[in-house]
Amino acid sequence: MTNKASLKTFLARKELGIFGLLVLLCLMTSAQNPNFLRPENLQNMARLTGIYGIFSLGLAFVVITGGIDLSVGAVFALLGVAIAMLLERGTPPVMAVAITIGLGAAIGVLHGILVTKVKLQPFLVTLCGLLVYRGIARTIANDETKGFGMAKGFEWLPPISNSNTLGIPNTFWLLILVASVLWVVLHRSVFGRHLIAVGRSEDAARYAGINANSVIMKAYIICGVLTGVAAILLAFFTNTVGPATHGNSYELYGIAAAVLGGCSLRGGEGSIVGVVLGATLLRVLQNLVTLLHIPSSLEFAVTGAVIMAGVLTDEILRRRRKA
């Protein structure tokens, strides 16, 4: 495969639209406010993009199965509280991290069982999860804000979220790593192929001898693990975890990133590069609202409008291709 061809596959038609939109927004913002291109601003955006990108990718896997996970934000609160309390009690930091990610995986397993074995609808399962996890987080934290203080005994942990390597935030490096692995998993592995098949037509996949339940289960576990990783990064980024509000509505950003990145909510379609671009776009949008002095009360409206524009453009392009 030549370089040109691989670049072409890398940025398939699907991602071109959102890539164009991203470039457009960046150009527009930097023209209006040169601060956009200042290293600190770019670093800050990249740091958050790293965190958002990681859990958006996890969500994307669930979306590709035709499912959805509404509980991500509540899981952030639960796991954020969990790691803070574990460290507070002097749990060895490596252990605390492992337990937190393990909890994320366990939540994925639970969702997977309820969806594949009990045959409940993913929307319902994770909607209940959203309420339950938030409630548990608030209860175990006594509704008190948890924090990491001076990080005594685990001084190496906060910098994973807050420092840079070679000028690039560590969270962004982590995103690159995660995205590269998942790119291979989704676009090159047998599991990825099975995932696409199951997401588009579970019946047809079963008739081809694919264990559809196991494929869907794995997608939920991937989502759980990545939510766990992002939960730790987010907790150290904010440095305090208020169980009632921490992570509120983050799942919607993840779903938006997945959809902007070319995942169909009907399942069976998705692109890793697209999702990363989608997550980046959402961060740039938030930055744009601040830098262009748009009233912050309008932030959600702007975000919503741009997502709608992106999805509409995609739909129009798709119809034109078909015709």
Partner 1 sequence: MSGISKRYPGVVALNDVSLTVMPGEVVALLGENGAGKSTMMKILGGVVQPDSGVVTIGGTPAKPASPAAASKLGIAFVHQELSVLDNLDVAGNINLGREPSKLGMLDVPAMHAIASKATKRVGLDIHPTTPLSNLPIAHRQLIEIARALAQDAKILILDEPTSSLTPTETATLLDLIRELKSQGVAIVYITHRLGEVTAVADRAVVLRDGHNAGELAKTELTHDRMVATMVGRNISGDNSYVPRTPGEVILDVKDLTTLRHPMGKASFTLRAGEIVGMAGLVGAGRTELAEALFGITPAVTGTISLSGIPLSITSAQVAIANRLYLVPEDRRHHGLVVSLSIRENISLPDLANMQSGGLVNRAKEARVTQERANALTVKAPSVEMAAANLSGGNQQKVVLARWLALSPKVMIFDEPTRGIDVGAKDEIYKLIRALAADDVAVLVISSDMEEVLRISDRVLVLRNGEVTGSIPRCDATEESILRLAVHHD
Query: Given CA atoms 165, 93, 129, 202 in this order, what sign does their dihedral have?
Result: positive
Task: Return the structure tokens found at 12.
Answer: 């398939």
Q: Using CB under 8 A, which residues numbered 78 to 137 contact partner 1?
A: none
Q: Give the one residue of 141, 175, 196, 234 binding partner 1; rule: CB under 8 A.
A: 196
Q: Does 40 bind partner 1 (CB under 8 A)?
A: no
Is 322 an interacting residue with respect to partner 1 (CB under 8 A)? Answer: no
Q: Is 173 in the site for partner 1 (CB under 8 A)?
A: no
Three-state SS at 211: coil
> Least distance from C-beta 158 to partner 1, angstroms?
35
Closest to 248 measured CA to CA, from 69, 53, 73: 73
**Is there binding between residue 203 and partner 1 (CB under 8 A)?**
yes
Amino acid present at 142: N
Nearer to partner 1 (CB atom), residue 19 or residue 191:
191
Give the per-residue contact string, 224-263, with partner 1 (x = CB under 8 A; - = no). ----------------------------------------
Rounded CA separation 233/226 (Å):
11
Binding region for partner 1 (CB under 8 A) out of 22-30, 36-44, 185-193, 223-231: 185-193
| Distance from C-alpha of 238 to C-alpha of 244, rounded to nearest angstrom | 14
**Cβ neighbours of residue 8 under 8 Å, at least 6 residues apart?**
none
Say how many C-beta atoms besides its own lie within 10 A of residue 81's C-beta.
Answer: 27
Which stretch in 112-120, 125-133, 184-192, 279-287 sits in contact with partner 1 by CB under 8 A?
184-192
AA letter at 153: G
Contact region with partner 1 (CB under 8 A), list: 26-34, 88-96, 132-140, 193-201: 193-201
Q: Which of 263, 233, 308 is nearest to 69 (CA)?
A: 263
Smallest distance, Å, CB 132 to partner 1?
31
Q: Are 208 and 196 in contact (CB under 8 A)?
A: no
Told to check if 184 binds partner 1 by CB under 8 A, we report yes
> Which one, 89 or 321, has the nearer CB to partner 1?
321
CB of 138 or CB of 200, closer to partner 1: 200
CB nearer to partner 1: pick between 40 and 203: 203
What's the one-letter identity of residue 275?
Answer: V
Candidates 33, 200, 238, 299: give the one binding partner 1 (CB under 8 A).
200
Residues 6+ apart with CB under 8 A from 287: 29, 36, 41, 44, 45
- Residues lying near partner 1 in the complex (CB under 8 A): 184, 188-191, 193-194, 196-197, 200-201, 203-211, 268
